[in-house]
Chain A
């Protein structure tokens, strides 16, 4: 009998760091943001409770259009990342062996040893009008003029796909690795073409990995800040820029907080819809990822 309270205490002590971490660093700030998002300024230093900040989002087309644009581009980025990552993950999981496999994973990881900002600046060096790509094209005579590749949606998508690739490859390769080779061979043996085997056997098997990777990449993309700001230029307004603008340049914290909560809610809703659409549950996805 005397061991029971002792056991409970041990359990409590073991869990304490995790609970503190969750509570202090994740839950508490969000609660504070939530409270902040419901306050409206009526006069200097006087705020009242209200839903005005949320109403502003839905009534001002500027804001929800920016969000819609961000969400649609993020979905596009996620889809592109998936299409690009799949063959790479397939190669890493099914073809590469031993050292080659470790090397390839390391190669995917390497860009993440430098910060996102540096990676993005790297892209700027390559893509700007006086950058490497433009010079290269002139050097081989494909164009006589300097070409600007930067400051458009294409550059933003390129940068975001690049940043998301690793987070797609790892869960995908994980999922594909557990696919028994004989199952794939059976797929061919029974008359399936490459396309049929891919569509009916490999992809369904990798589904938890696909969903996990897509959720991670989508969330990272929707919440990205530096890449769209630096590569996007004059048209690339990302929703996070809107939040930054509210907090930093407009000093309108309640509005920024409301936008932050809306970003969290709406992107969660999109993830939820995606899960429903593909018939996956979050539980199995997390288990596989």
Chain B
């Protein structure tokens, strides 16, 4: 039985190797991205048009950077970190390649967004990223069970003890800093002041911790807990909130009073990418309005593609309008590039938050 099973395994491994071998023959784009950013329909169309196959690996910001760091920028041809996480790691580890902007059709991008992303991802005068998908971090609230939640600090309301959640990651620090009248982005350049500010935020979070059911880690974990009612208010991405809103109208994404946190995910090319041509083709293909609209619908977020919004479904637009009145849009706090060393300060505060009881 066992030998049979082992034999089967060997055969499968061999078959997989054969397939991998044949795939090697065709042109291939190795893409490291987020869940839902490369829906099958879009990938298939790309392969049909260009003959290039796309090999997708799903990840998040930290893991993307760690993976590239481990190989000094090899193993992938195109990656999609957030725009604030490019300059710092590039300075520190040199894992990206400067973009050849002449190969990117800049007319397909929303001009202001392209400019701000270029600015944020510039190191030594070279640009390392262009925008793709953007969205916000705010509050996902079951308005029936927790009608009073309007800002991050409300997650610490004793009335909701054991029914709230946030991630023990840097967005929580930034969010609670704003909610408590500080401006962390203004102190990015001053490590000492930033450290002092984070100490304060850390103390605030430590106090809030007893109110939290768990620090959420995976998106599905949080959404399940919100569906079952175990959690009634959490700091989370807008897309998750809108997804739940479609299932249960009571659950809403709320732009907090102190401001939603705006993020932009980019396209960047790893230092040792092997197929830059395919990478540029994928970027230009993805920014076509009709393709960008499909990707945005799949991700549940908005795109930096110029004109795609006209093609998007009504529902998401309505939800966005509901969550973001004009003032709330103006109040979005866009992440500036994270300077090197900032994560060190934040990391220690987060470690202490998790370890303390």
A234 and B214 contact, Cβ closer than 8 Å, known pairs A62-B352, A251-B89: yes
Which chain B residues numbered 160 to 213 have a C-beta less than 8 Å away from chain A? 162, 168-169, 209, 212-213
CA distance A69 to B213 in the complex (A): 21
Residues of A within 8 A of B162 (CB): 148
A247 lies within 8 A of chain B by Cβ: yes
CA distance A69 to B351 in the complex (A): 14
Which chain A residues numbered 128 to 157 have a C-beta less than 8 Å away from chain B? 128-130, 148, 150-151
Residues of A within 8 A of B230 (CB): 128-130, 148
Query: Do the beta carbons of B343 and A250 come within 8 Å of each other?
Result: yes
Q: Among the listed A62, A63, A66, A151, which residue makes an inter-chain contact with B213, where contact means beta carbons less than 8 Å apart?
A: A151
CA distance A258 to B224 in the complex (A): 37
Residues of B within 8 A of A69 (CB): 355
CA distance A73 to B169 in the complex (A): 26
Query: Do the beta carbons of B66 and A248 come within 8 Å of each other?
Result: yes
Interface centre among B89, B92, B209 (most CB of A within 10 A): B92
B65 lies within 8 A of chain A by Cβ: yes
Interface string of A63-88 (1 = CB under 8 A from B): 10110010000000000000000000
CA distance A128 to B213 in the complex (A): 11
Interface string of A253-268 (1 = CB under 8 A from B): 1000000000000000
Q: In the assembled complex, how far is the CB of residue B205 from the closest CB belonging to chain A, in whole angstroms?
A: 11
B62 lies within 8 A of chain A by Cβ: yes
Q: Among the listed B92, B94, B228, B347, which residue makes an inter-chain contact with A245, where contact means beta carbons less than 8 Å apart?
A: B347
Residues of B within 8 A of A44 (CB): 91-92, 340
Q: In the assembled complex, how far is the CB of residue A80 from the closest CB belonging to chain B, in whole angstroms?
A: 21
Interface string of A140-182 (1 = CB under 8 A from B): 0000000010110000000000000000000000000000000
Q: Among the listed A65, A130, A247, which residue makes an inter-chain contact with B66, where contact means beta carbons less than 8 Å apart?
A: A247
CA distance A152 to B114 in the complex (A): 46
Residues of A within 8 A of B69 (CB): 251, 253
Q: Among the listed B93, B347, B352, B355, which residue makes an inter-chain contact with A250, where contact means beta carbons less than 8 Å apart?
A: B347
A249 lies within 8 A of chain B by Cβ: yes
Interface centre among A229, A237, A241, A242 (most CB of B within 10 A): A237
Query: Do the beta carbons of A62 and B62 come within 8 Å of each other?
Result: no
A234 and B92 contact, Cβ closer than 8 Å, known pairs A129-B230, A252-B347: no
Residues of B within 8 A of A151 (CB): 213-214
Residues of B within 8 A of A287 (CB): none
A45 lies within 8 A of chain B by Cβ: yes
CA distance A251 to B67 in the complex (A): 10
B357 lies within 8 A of chain A by Cβ: yes
Q: Among the listed B92, B169, B348, B350, which residue makes an inter-chain contact with A45, where contact means beta carbons less than 8 Å apart?
A: B92
Query: Do the beta carbons of A233 and B215 come within 8 Å of each other?
Result: yes
B144 lies within 8 A of chain A by Cβ: no
Interface centre among A63, A233, A252 (most CB of B within 10 A): A233
B310 lies within 8 A of chain A by Cβ: no
A248 and B62 contact, Cβ closer than 8 Å, known pairs A44-B340, A66-B355, A241-B354: yes
Residues of A within 8 A of B92 (CB): 44-45, 251
A59 lies within 8 A of chain B by Cβ: no
Query: Do the beta carbons of B355 and A237 come within 8 Å of each other?
Result: yes
Interface string of B325-357 (1 = CB under 8 A from A): 000000000000000100110011011101101
B322 lies within 8 A of chain A by Cβ: no
List residues of chain A with CB under 8 Å of any chain B CB. Answer: 44-45, 60, 62-63, 65-66, 69, 128-130, 148, 150-151, 229, 233-235, 237, 241-242, 245-253
- Given A45-B92, A246-B347, A250-B343, 10 more A-B residue pairs with CB atoms under 8 Å apart are A44-B91, A44-B340, A65-B355, A130-B229, A148-B213, A234-B213, A245-B351, A249-B347, A251-B66, A253-B69
Chosen A-B contacts, 11 in total, with CB atoms closer than 8 Å, are A65-B355, A66-B351, A66-B355, A129-B228, A229-B217, A234-B215, A237-B351, A237-B355, A245-B347, A247-B66, A251-B89
